């Protein structure tokens, strides 16, 4: 019991430290990205036409990304929450970037999980978006 409490305390401390030092990474789904790297029209749900529609995936880092390439792994999520691989988008980056975005076009409605990782496969951030037809 003491070791579990100690482990929980350490985890809480790490969360607080990363939040206070700005080391968190966030994935935003949005209609556009402004020149300063902030989302415009941010949402977790979008409506597209039957011929498809696009949105932006914006990653804001707490510090420099320290990678030359990132990957956006996209999974379709069924009604039971089970993921099925859909696609991987790759993007070149610069190691000193603190934010970056990628435009994505969806042709099918549904719920999607997106996992962003660096060139070595280490996770950066993730998010979920719901796409519906008009």
Q: Residue 111: which CATH number?
A: 2.60.40.1930
Are 116 and 126 a contacting pair, CB within 8 Å?
Answer: yes
Q: Whole domain around residue 110: which residue ranges?
A: 23-133
Q: Sorting pLDDT into bands at 50, 70 and 90, what band is 23?
A: low
Q: What kind and span of H or E run contains 77?
A: strand 69-77
- pLDDT tens, residue by residue, 3-20: 444 434 443 433 433 443
45 within domain boundaries: yes
105 within domain boundaries: yes
Q: What is the pLDDT of residue 50?
A: 94
17 within domain boundaries: no
Q: What is the pLDDT of residue 28?
A: 98
With 50 as the cut, is the pLDDT of residue 129 above it? yes
For the chain, what is the mean pLDDT? 87
User: How many domains does the structure of the chain reveal?
Assistant: 1
CB atoms within 10 A of CB 79: 7
108 within domain boundaries: yes
85 within domain boundaries: yes
12 within domain boundaries: no
pTM of the model: 0.81
């Amino acid at each position: 019991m003491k070791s579990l409490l100690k482990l929980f305390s350490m985890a809480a401390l790490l969360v607080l430290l990363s939040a206070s030092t700005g080391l968190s990474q966030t994935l935003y789904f949005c209609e556009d990205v402004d020149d300063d790297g902030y989302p415009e029209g941010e949402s977790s749900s979008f409506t597209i036409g039957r011929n498809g529609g696009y949105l932006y995936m914006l990653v804001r880092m707490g510090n420099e990304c320290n990678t030359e390439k990132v990957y956006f792994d996209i999974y379709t999520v069924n009604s039971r929450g089970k993921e099925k691989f859909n696609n991987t988008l790759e993007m070149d980056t610069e190691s000193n970037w603190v934010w970056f975005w990628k435009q994505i076009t969806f042709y099918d409605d549904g719920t999607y999980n997106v996992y962003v990782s660096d060139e070595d496969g280490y996770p950066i951030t993730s998010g979920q978006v719901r796409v519906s037809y008009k």
